[in-house]
């Protein structure tokens, strides 16, 4: 029982991590409230605020020597002023029903507040980079990029979240990204609520949503979301941010086209600026999101061109506000990469290395991956189908969102296919590496489409019947109980062997000193132990490399590697016959070992850890 309870209450650090992340999100709400415009979509405000902070930190971080600590204090002051002004205007800062959604999500938030880093990409990039920012107060540069993430030149829009929350807490928070991911999903749930009301013909209803509707909104972005995967959503990965910002840009784009169709040009111009803020944030989240930016803009334009009520010149007039902010911040970051971090991101391979001959295998693998995600594949087919139908026979606002969503789904997957052929390399291309995770970036578009579409069907075929009232308690119950039912599954950060690797890595800091050199040997493992060891040792330069199951080394090569590298220490997490023979040390598979060179060409054990 105690072990189960520790899924929710595990350490005192939960308090400051939650409070710091919540304060940051509230600050984003306050800053973003100045950009709401006439429509007053309060649920989008924190993303506008985040976009503004993202712009300030990126531009000043690139072009001035001012420490991020001072820049953060400046944006914090901006947030406080914005909060005071928002309160004095006596207008709501949050969407109505926020407290209900927060209470419904309390078990999930409590669980996530106890979590720590656990995934490969967290240790190799999404945690190690903002931690370096906290230490240096600046972007990584040509002198220290080796201490940053494996892709040091990735944009920093998402890294700012972990950095700023950690600055508020006064210590580095590994779960700030996961907490803000949940905040984003819960905030987007109000978009679902809004679209449900619109689909039901109640778009003018601004009353506080009831418990059932709030629960439906929360479930639409979590349990019922076809792309909700706990090992992505409850980590510091940037995919939830990418998905949410993309989904919001689509929804605001849909509203913009509606305003243009109704002749409300000023309202449409406000929407266009809001899209511009969102897309500016989007392109600064990941390297590949500049392509998503282009796809979203093209899909919105396509839907606008298909609408007979929208004049071409009015549609084109929206483009500068929609695109210039994103283009500006993209160019700023490209300038910094050129100055400090060349070749520290994914690169398109030479034309001669493009994998044309493997196109059938790549396509088959992509289809195989999607076939294993039945609900998502079904949704994809439905969205694309309705999009094609809307292009042929455009009639309603639903056709407008179908064209946008369908166009993005098709174009994004076409881009991924091209990337596998031109960028990923043969090994990753033939296994369609991370193809499912990249499709998760479309998740909130699917949520918005589904919420609106199902509400229309509900209004047509279900509304007015008695049975929905009899089960109105069910969404609330699911929202509250799901974290308790799936607690052990959701706390994947406790799954072995990661906690063991982390414990060993932490203790190494007291056993090794600057000048030592460490080689991590895990010939039965994936290499995760090496990535975690590098993370735990920080930037002392002790960690040098690792050996995993993917790097086959025979006896002669292994002896040669040890001799040439002249490592002072070896960390051993698993064994094979070659390793045992070369090292000539008595070890077993149930323990991890730290070995030290004895100065005579041999090794001696100086520390043993029992595996959990």
Task: Work out the end-to-end distance of the chain between its first and last CA atoms, rounded to an integer number of angstroms.
Answer: 19
Q: How far is CA 479 from CA 170, 219, 376, 445, in A?
A: 33, 6, 21, 21
Residues 329-348 have a mean pLDDT of 89
Closest CA to 155 of 233, 238, 46: 238
Provide the pLDDT for residue 35: 87
CATH code for the domain defined by 498-610 = 3.40.50
Express each pLDDT in 402-426 by its tens digit. 999 999 999 999 999 999 999 998 9
Tell me the mean pLDDT in the region 30-48: 88
Strands 518-521 and 543-547: parallel
pLDDT of residue 601: 86
Mean pLDDT, residues 317-345: 93
Q: What is the pLDDT of residues 373-382, one digit of tens each?
A: 999 999 999 9
Q: Looking at the DSSP assignment, which residues form a beta bridge with residue 608?
A: 593
- Find, among 450, 535, 423, the residue nearest to 172 by Cα: 535
Low-confidence winner among 138-147, 222-231, 523-532 (lowest mean pLDDT): 138-147
Q: What are the tens digits of pLDDT across the range 561-579?
A: 898 898 999 999 999 999 9
Per-residue model confidence (pLDDT) at position 554: 87
Find the mean pLDDT for residues 510-534. 96
* pLDDT at position 209 over 70: yes
pLDDT value of residue 55: 98
Q: Is the pLDDT of residue 540 over 80?
A: no
> Is the pLDDT assigned to residue 307 strictly greater than 70?
yes
Q: How many CB atoms lie within 10 A of CB 160?
A: 24
Which run of H or E residues covers position 389? helix 374-392
Q: Is the pLDDT of residue 253 over 80?
A: yes
Phi first, then psi: what are they for 288, rounded to 5°?
-80, -10
Question: What is the pLDDT, as a whole number, of residue 39?
Answer: 66
395 touches 458 (CB < 8 A): no
Full DSSP string of 22-58: HHHHHHHHHHHGGG-TTT--GGGHHHHHHHHHHHHHH
Tokens read off for 70: 């001072």
3-state DSSP helix/strand/coil percent for the chain, to nearest 5? 65, 5, 30
Distance, in Å, from the CA atom of 478 to the CA atom of 520, rounded to the nearest integer, reads 44
Q: In this model, does residue 513 exceed pLDDT 90?
A: yes
| Confidence check: pLDDT of 38 > 80 | no
Is pLDDT at 179 greater than 70 in this prediction? yes
Closest CA to 165 of 25, 67, 30: 25
Question: How confident is the model over 415-440, as a mean pLDDT?
Answer: 94
pLDDT in tens, 480-505: 999 999 999 999 999 999 999 999 99
Q: Are 85 and 316 in contact (CB under 8 A)?
A: no
Dihedral over alpha carbons 187, 191, 194, 195 (to 10 degrees):
-150
Mean pLDDT of the chain: 95
Residue 343 sits at φ, ψ, to 5 deg, of 65, 25
Q: What is the pLDDT of residue 332?
A: 98
pLDDT above 80 (res 65):
yes
Q: Spell out the domain ranges in the chain.
A: 2-200+210-346+462-490, 498-610
Residues counted in the chain: 612
In angstroms, the CA 283 to CA 248 distance is: 14
pLDDT at 541: 86
Question: Which pLDDT does position 344 carry in this prediction?
Answer: 67
CA distance 114 to 593: 29
């Amino acid at each position: 029982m105690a072990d189960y309870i520790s899924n929710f209450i595990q350490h005192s650090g939960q308090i400051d991590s939650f409070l710091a992340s919540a304060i940051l999100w509230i600050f984003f709400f306050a800053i973003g409230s100045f950009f709401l415009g006439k429509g007053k979509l309060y649920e989008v405000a924190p993303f506008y605020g985040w976009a503004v902070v993202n712009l300030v930190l990126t531009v000043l971080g690139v072009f001035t020597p001012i420490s991020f600590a001072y820049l953060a204090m400046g944006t914090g002051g901006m947030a406080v002023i914005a909060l005071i002004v928002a309160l004095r205007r006596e207008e709501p800062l949050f969407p109505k029903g926020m407290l209900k959604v927060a209470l419904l999500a309390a078990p999930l938030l409590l669980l996530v507040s106890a979590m720590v880093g656990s995934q490969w990409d967290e240790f190799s990039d999404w945690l190690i980079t903002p931690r370096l920012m906290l230490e240096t107060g600046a972007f990584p540069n040509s002198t220290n990029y080796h201490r940053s993430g494996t892709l040091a030149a990735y944009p920093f829009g998402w890294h700012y979240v972990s950095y700023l929350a950690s600055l508020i807490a006064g210590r580095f928070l590994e779960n700030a990204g996961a907490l803000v991911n949940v905040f984003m999903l819960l905030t987007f749930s109000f978009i679902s609520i809004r679209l449900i009301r619109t689909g039901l013909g109640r778009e003018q209803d601004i009353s506080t949503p009831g418990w059932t509707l709030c629960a439906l909104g929360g479930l639409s972005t979590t349990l019922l979301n076809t792309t909700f995967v706990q090992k992505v959503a409850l980590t510091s990965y940037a995919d939830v941010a990418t998905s949410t910002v993309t989904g919001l840009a689509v929804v605001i784009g849909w509203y913009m086209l509606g305003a243009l169709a109704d002749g409300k040009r000023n309202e449409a111009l406000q929407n266009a600026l809001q899209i511009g803020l969102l897309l500016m944030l989007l392109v600064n989240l990941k390297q590949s999101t500049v392509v998503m930016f282009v796809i979203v803009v093209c899909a919105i334009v396509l839907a606008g061109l298909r609408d007979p009520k929208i004049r071409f010149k009015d549609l084109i007039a929206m483009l500068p506000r929609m695109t210039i902010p994103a283009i500006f911040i993209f160019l700023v970051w490209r300038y910094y990469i050129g100055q400090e971090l060349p070749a520290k991101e994914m690169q398109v391979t030479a034309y001669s290395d493009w994998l044309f001959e493997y196109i059938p295998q790549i396509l088959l693998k992509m289809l195989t991956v999607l076939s294993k995600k039945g609900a998502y594949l079904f949704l994809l087919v439905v969205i694309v189908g309705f999009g094609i139908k809307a292009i042929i026979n455009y009639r309603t606002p639903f056709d407008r969102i179908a064209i946008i969503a369908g166009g993005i789904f098709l174009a994004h997957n076409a881009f991924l296919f091209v990337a596998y052929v031109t960028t990923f390399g043969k090994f990753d291309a033939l296994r369609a590496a991370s193809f499912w995770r990249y499709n998760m970036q479309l998740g909130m578009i699917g949520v918005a489409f589904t919420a609106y579409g199902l509400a229309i069907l509900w209004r047509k075929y279900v509304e007015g019947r008695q049975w929905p009232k009899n089960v109105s308690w069910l969404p609330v119950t699911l929202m509250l109980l799901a974290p308790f039912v799936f607690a052990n599954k959701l706390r994947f950060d406790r799954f072995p062997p990661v906690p063991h690797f982390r414990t060993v890595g932490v203790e190494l800091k007291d056993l090794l000193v600057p000048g030592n050199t460490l080689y991590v040997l895990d010939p039965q493992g994936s290499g995760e132990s090496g990535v975690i060891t590098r993370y735990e040792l920080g930037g002392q330069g002790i960690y040098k490399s690792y050996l995993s199951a993917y790097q086959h080394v025979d006896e002669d090569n292994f002896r040669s590697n040890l001799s040439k590298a002249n490592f002072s220490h070896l960390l051993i997490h698993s064994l094979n016959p070659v390793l045992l023979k070369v090292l000539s040390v008595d070890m077993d598979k149930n323990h991890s070992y730290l070995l030290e060179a004895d100065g005579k060409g041999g090794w001696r054990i100086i520390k043993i850890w029992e595996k959990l």
